[in-house]
């Protein structure tokens, strides 16, 4: 049986993580945060004094770093993580420094190719809910389940601030949308959800309703 992939793309702080986790929990699918994979490389470069604006050096680091994928279950959620030297730097990758560096790392073509390879390997963990910027366009363009989340800039900045993070979201979105390789865009056939005025439950409810209307019952391991 071919695993199903639910692709959730969108702008920064548009609620991708919250909603992807809610959907993955509800369906019993494995959750994959691809942003965390790019963040881990940005963190790894910073830690090893590799200039993130030096594309050649970043590509070399990506070729050489020692990584593996694992799937762990925590509070009813199966989540896939990329380990570097056997560790997942969960907190370290959420700093303002890493957020500023990550679009630079993510713009390097060799890095994107490497990441797409690992992201496709996640199918070994079964049905997936994968969130990112290019999942529906580039990683799994063939999936029929594509969602694109967005919200007004003010609302997104408010959400980030509520998480205790101050950052220039507009600048990051601009970098992510304007890079030459796999820029952030609405995937063809994606259902676009602007959730400025919706709660996470309402947003994930819309996503689940759409999936359930199209998915055979046996592929939903409802909890």
Q: In the bound complex, what is the minimum distance in angstroms from residue 158's beta carbon to ligand DC?
A: 16
Q: Residue 171 or 221: which CB sits closer to ligand DC?
A: 171
* Closest listed residue to residue 147, CA positions, set 27, 36, 34, 19: 19
Q: Residue 53 or 212: which CB sits closer to ligand DC?
A: 53
Q: In the bound complex, what is the minimum distance in angstroms from residue 21's beta carbon to ligand DC?
A: 13
Q: In the bound complex, what is the minimum distance in angstroms from residue 192's beta carbon to ligand DC?
A: 17
Q: Residue 200 or 220: which CB sits closer to ligand DC?
A: 200
Q: In the bound complex, what is the minimum distance in angstroms from residue 141's beta carbon to ligand DC?
A: 13
Burial of 38 (0-12, 13-18, 19+ CB in 10 A): buried
Q: In the bound complex, what is the minimum distance in angstroms from residue 60's beta carbon to ligand DC?
A: 19
Q: Residue 174 or 212: which CB sits closer to ligand DC?
A: 174
Distance CA 162, CA 189 (A): 32
Q: Residue 159 or 219: which CB sits closer to ligand DC?
A: 159
* Closest listed residue to residue 114, CA positions, set 179, 194, 60: 60
Burial of 184 (0-12, 13-18, 19+ CB in 10 A): buried
Q: Which residue has the tokens 């548009």?
A: 14
Tokens for 26, please give them.
């509800």
DSSP state, 187?
A: P
**Site of interaction with ligand DC (CB under 6 A):** 12, 34-35, 38-39, 102-103, 106, 132-135, 172, 176
Distance CA 202, CA 182 (A): 29
Q: In the bound complex, what is the minimum distance in angstroms from residue 23's beta carbon to ligand DC?
A: 16
Distances (CA, A) of 196 to 44, 66, 93, 157: 34, 40, 26, 11
Q: Residue 123 or 220: which CB sits closer to ligand DC?
A: 123
């Amino acid at each position: 049986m071919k695993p199903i992939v639910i692709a959730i793309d969108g702008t920064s702080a548009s609620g991708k993580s919250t909603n992807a986790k809610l959907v993955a929990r509800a369906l019993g699918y494995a959750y994959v945060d691809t942003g965390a994979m790019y963040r881990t490389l940005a963190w790894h470069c910073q830690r090893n004094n590799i200039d993130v604006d030096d594309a050649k050096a970043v590509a070399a680091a990506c070729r050489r770093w020692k990584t593996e994928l694992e799937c762990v279950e925590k509070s009813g959620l199966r989540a896939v993580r990329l380990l570097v030297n056997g560790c997942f730097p969960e907190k370290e990758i959420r700093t303002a420094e890493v957020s500023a560096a990550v679009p630079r790392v993510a713009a390097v073509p060799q890095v994107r190719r490497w990441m797409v390879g690992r992201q496709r390997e996640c199918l070994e963990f079964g049905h997936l809910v994968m969130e990112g910027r290019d999942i529906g366009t580039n990683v799994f363009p063939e999936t029929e389940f594509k969602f694109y989340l967005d919200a007004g800039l003010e609302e997104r900045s408010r959400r980030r601030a509520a998480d205790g993070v101050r950052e220039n979201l507009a600048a990051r979105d601009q970098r992510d949308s304007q890079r030459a390789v796999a820029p952030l865009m609405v995937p063809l056939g994606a259902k676009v959800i602007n959730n400025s005025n919706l709660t996470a439950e309402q947003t994930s409810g819309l996503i689940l309703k759409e999936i359930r209307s199209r998915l055979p019952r046996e592929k939903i391991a409802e909890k």
